[in-house]
Chain A
Amino acid sequence: MSNLGKFFIFLGTQLTQREKFSVYWSRFIEECISLGVKSIFIVAIISSFIGAVSCIQTAYNLVSPLIPVSTVALIVRDMQILELAPTITCIVLAGKVGSNIASELGTMRITEQIDALEVMGINSASYLVLPKIIAAMVTFPMLVVLAAFLGIWGGYLAGTITGVISERDYIYGIRDGFIPYNIFFMCVKPFVFGFLIAAISSFKGYYTTGGALEVGQSSTKAVTSSCIAILVADYVLAQLLL
């Protein structure tokens, strides 16, 4: 509980004694590139293969001749949009981005770079962490949209190449019974998950004490805590919004 209180105080300190807007803007752009642009490749690879596998495995399970084949595509679409794209993508990003943030801030802490910022009269938490949180909340939904698109496309490729579903049936299936509200839900999830990943990882890294071993431990704790937070938030959002 004391850690939770410390976490909320940590979030609060970022809004006090803010620096110039131009400073935050340049830091925000740097973080968007670091957290977002540099994650495109891994997100693209993972989501394409997840889409492909979900198509093949769904087709494997749909053995009844009473169910149209296009249902495979419908299921792939809804799985991607509702769960696989936002949640799996963000769990992957918790590992990639979260560990990166925690180890970066942890290393800055143990090499006294954060102390150097503090004695200059700069709010180090606000300068270092706030741009990361905002960048994550902005770029993660974009990455999830990309992931959903590539997941559906991956399912299309896998289904048509292996012959489990025809192109016509796949296209029909992904258009059948489409609910636009699901896109909104798909975008809300990474917005929340991005905040959790960036905030939790930053908290773990910022308060690292010790040496290289402790930096590694902070990085691991950041990833595990972020993943747990994502799964809890996933359930809460599904319960509230669906």
Chain B
Amino acid sequence: MIEIKNIKKSFNGKEVLSGIDAVFKKGETNLIIGGSGTGKSVLLKCIIGLIRPDEGRVLYNDRDFYGGDREAFQAIRREMGVLFQGGALFDSKTVAQNVRFPLDMLTDMPNSEKEDRVRFCLERVGLDQAANRMPSEISGGMKKRVGIARAIVMNPMYLFCDEPNSGLDPLTAVKIDELIQEITHEYKITTVVITHDMNSVMEIGQNIIFLYKGKKLWEGNNQTITESEVPELNEFLFSNKLLRDLRKTQ
């Protein structure tokens, strides 16, 4: 479980996050949604330690992420897997080398075990045939799947996905969502997904927080989101014509 308390962050005097509180539950897909520029990515970066918040605490299973020494900080980081928006694959390494990289850097596993683990992770995301290809030779959806494979290769306790469906066609986006949900439930990990994709919200949103201008305006799930009374959320949600039509029929 991840708990964030009163997270605040400003850049050049402009407040981007204004006291965000949230609990991200283990074994669930937790979504952070909101329009562009509402602070979703900044919040994610505060949670994973790429940006230090001005105020507030981030607790990983009651361990204060920013409260301990550097070793404790790095130890928590090594329990994370992160899927970046563009995949963030290392250009000079093949797909298999990318997935294997955390094992090479952070473990003393024998080579045969590493190869088995890499093969398993690539099979899990359906890319075992692409092991020897370079990142420049694969599609955007495949890069995201390699990113997921690399994120789970170390058996993380926490999985973070920054807009995993951006730039993907609807069919591939659904497959990525399904993969994230399966992995979350299978390995009982705490998953946090940043998205503004409505399909993802309705498909995998077990726990959803809605950000608006740096504030958390609403919290719920994909069952209750269509019944909210928050005007900003409704404007965001029902900007999609399909959902507007669905609401009318309801």
Contact = CB atoms under 8 A, between A and B. Distances in A.
Interface in B50-70: 50, 70
Given A119-B49, A120-B105, A122-B105, A112 B78 contact: no
Given A19-B105, A122-B105, A116 B88 contact: yes
A119 B77 contact: yes
Contact of B88 (A17, A19, A23, A111): A111
A121 B78 contact: yes
B84 A121 contact: no
22 contacts: A16-B70, A17-B74, A20-B105, A23-B105, A107-B91, A111-B86, A111-B91, A112-B84, A115-B82, A116-B82, A116-B88, A118-B49, A119-B49, A119-B50, A119-B77, A119-B160, A120-B101, A120-B102, A120-B105, A121-B75, A121-B106, A127-B105
A130 B106 CA distance: 18
B41 to A, nearest CB: 11
SS class, residues of chain B in contact with chain A = mixed
A113 interface: yes
B222 interface: no
Contacts of A107: 91
Nearest to B85: A112
B137 interface: no
Contacts of B89: 113
Given A17-B74, A121-B74, A121-B75, A115 B84 contact: yes
Best-surrounded residue of B49, B88, B89, B101 (most CB of chain A within 10 A): B88
A170 to B, nearest CB: 46
Interface string B91-103: 1000000000110
A23 B86 CA distance: 26
A112 B86 CA distance: 8
B187 interface: no
A112 B104 CA distance: 20
A17 B78 contact: no
Interface of B: 48-50, 70, 74-75, 77-78, 80, 82, 84-86, 88-91, 101-102, 104-106, 160
A120 B88 contact: no
A118 to B, nearest CB: 6
Given A119-B82, A120-B77, A113 B106 contact: no
Interface string A104-139: 000100011101101111100001000000000000
A129 to B, nearest CB: 15
A28 to B, nearest CB: 15
Contacts of A111: 86, 88, 91
Interface string A66-96: 0000000000000000000000000000000
Nearest to A107: B91
A115 B88 contact: yes
Given A19-B105, A118-B50, A113 B77 contact: no
Contact of A17 (B70, B82, B101, B160): B70
A159 to B, nearest CB: 45
A119 B80 contact: yes
A107 B78 CA distance: 24
